[in-house]
Structure 1
């Protein structure tokens, strides 16, 4: 199972987007967490 910080990256990205802040770091982090198989932490469990 993924570490909790990984599970909250998408939620933090949504918050930043709604606040008008840059979200590119969160997108890159989520792409990195997909581990080459295309599944994000939220989709696995």
Structure 2
């Protein structure tokens, strides 16, 4: 969480972090999207 905060602290005043519980067939789809758009996050 600290790395996320450091990265966005100059761009926003408030941020919320929630658990992302990926289940079933959605997990691969979402992880593939994140890998394609934001490879540094995975």
For normalisation by structure 2, the TM-score amounts to 0.35
Larger relative helix fraction: 1
Q: Highest relative contact order (Cα 8 Å, sep 6+), 1 or 2? A: 1
Q: TM-score, normalised by structure 1?
A: 0.33
Larger radius of gyration: 2
